[in-house]
Amino acid sequence: MDFPLDFVRGFFPALADSNDLYFDNAAGTQVPQTVVEAVGDHLTRRNVQRGGRYRLSEEVDEFLQQTRESLAVFVNAHQPDEIAFGANATGLIRSMSLAFAEVLKPGDEVIVTELDHEANIAPWLALEARDIKVKFWPVEREGARLDIEKLDEILSDRSRLVAVTKASNAVGTIVDLIPIAERIHAHKGYLFVDAVAFAAHGPLDVQFFGCDFLICSGHKIFGPHIGFLWGKKEAMDSLPTFHEFFIPDRAPDKYEAGTPNFEGTAGLNAAVGYIEELGRRSRHLPLPPEEDVGRRGDMRRGMQAVRQYERTLTGYLLRRIQELPFVEVQGLTDPGQAALRTPTFSFNVKGLEPAKVSRLLAKERIFVRDGQVDCPRLFRALGLSDKTAGVRASLVHYNSGSEVDRFLDTLKDMPR
């Protein structure tokens, strides 16, 4: 694998103790030292309110803008004003659903999917109280995938919005957004994307995806606990939001319900800076010339390097796990399909409850998660209950093949 793993791991202080094995990254990733420093630097040097007429306060205004600029490049937005900060993805999706509640009409339709995290389902379902019809795009049991033909069956002239994840936080399936964008736009509706579970695994590109809104969380992309939203400028401007009189009635301010988490934004900027640094180390990777420009080129390359490496890691794990016939993996299990999924695996060990497997792994200092990971509808569709779903091992690019070996050897030796 032509990937600078030692260089990468050297950035993350938490990984210095190689006895701890972090396979719970879909819940939250570790952070580079540069992120720790950026957060600490803000709190020690300029922990003041924005908007004041003194240097430190002006610095806060400046780095908020810098973070918007960095995130705009990270998602390939047209402009920094398309980025708004929020507490987390769940809260941002809820406020967006409340904004849409003001413009949707009784009888209009919103489509949600069985593949999604409940954070991108429940806020839309709540619109039913206003006579908005919410339709479910079912997941295919085979491969835990969304079939575009099923979307065709449920789309109608009243369809106003499709809310869909870019990747499953439970089983790793990646969703092709382009055909969804084409269809919902043909009905003059919006594509609302939850990118939380994908963003650590590959390049975000809102122009390529063709979406109208996209949500992400800092703590899933090597940053602090903070969320952010991207929205197309016209859509951001036109949606009515709930904001107090002291918040300007313009995007992105009107999406930020008060003082943002300054130290979080500083850390998020540093997290994006880490991706850029990885991109500078990956200059050997070819990029289309239009993408190979400035910071976007570096970020794109950084995430491409991650994607390529993770594909190999995914293929390796899926191949090796076949040696353990008592382990059943959900979703796409063919090592040849590694490109269609992230390295987030939900599995069961025959004869052992998921919680027991997690506890036994934890004893060996291998950190995973068990349960429905906020996707009860998905697991029900896959034929699993709250008792039987599942163990989740979620890897990112700082995990290694030898960690996969240690994990699988521990599963193999587990008393069943």
**CB proximity list for 315: less than 8 A, separation 6 or greater:** 335, 336, 338
217 is a site residue for ligand PLP (CB under 6 A): yes
Alpha carbons 39 and 42: distance in angstroms, whole number: 5
Q: From residue 266, give the alpha-carbon distance in Å to each of 69, 73, 148.
A: 12, 16, 39
Between 282 and 394, whose beta carbon lies closer to ligand PLP?
A: 394
Q: For ligand PLP, which residue of 104, 139, 177, 196 counts as binding (CB under 6 A)?
A: 196
**Which stretch of DSSP H or E encloses residue 311?**
helix 294-321
Task: Provide the token pair at 38.
Answer: 């950026």
Residue 412 burial by Cβ neighbours in a 10 Å radius (0-12, 13-18, 19+): exposed
Name the residue nearer to ligand PLP (CB basis): 89 or 181: 89
- Identity of the residue, 346 or 400, whose beta carbon is nearer to ligand PLP in the bound complex: 346
C-alpha 182/C-alpha 80 separation (Å) is 25
Instruction: Decide: is 159 part of the binding site for ligand PLP (CB under 6 A).
Output: no
- How many Å apart are CA 65 and CA 61, to the nearest integer? 6
Q: Is the CB of 30 or the CB of 120 nearer to ligand PLP?
A: 120
Residues 42-101 that bind ligand PLP (CB under 6 A): 88-90
Q: Nearest 5°: phi and psi at 19?
A: -75, -25
Under rule CB under 6 A, which residues in 115-154 are in contact with ligand PLP?
117, 119-120
| Using rule CB under 6 A, residue 169 touches ligand PLP | yes
Is the Cβ of residue 301 or residue 369 nearer to ligand PLP in the bound state?
369
Least separation in angstroms between residue 167's CB and ligand PLP is 7
Residue nearest ligand PLP (C-beta atom): 169
Q: By CB under 6 A, tell whether 165 contacts ligand PLP.
A: yes
Quick one: which of 38, 197, 306, 384 contacts ligand PLP (CB under 6 A)? 197
| Beta carbons within 8 Å of 319's beta carbon, 6+ residues apart | 335
**Where in 281-377 does DSSP place strands (E)?**
327-329, 344-349, 366-367, 369-370
User: Binder to ligand PLP among 172, 223, 227, 273 (CB under 6 A)?
Assistant: 227
Between residues 301 and 392, which has the closer beta carbon with respect to ligand PLP?
Answer: 392
Kindly list the residues in this chain that would bind ligand PLP in the complex (CB under 6 A).
88-90, 117, 119-120, 165, 169, 194, 196-197, 217, 227
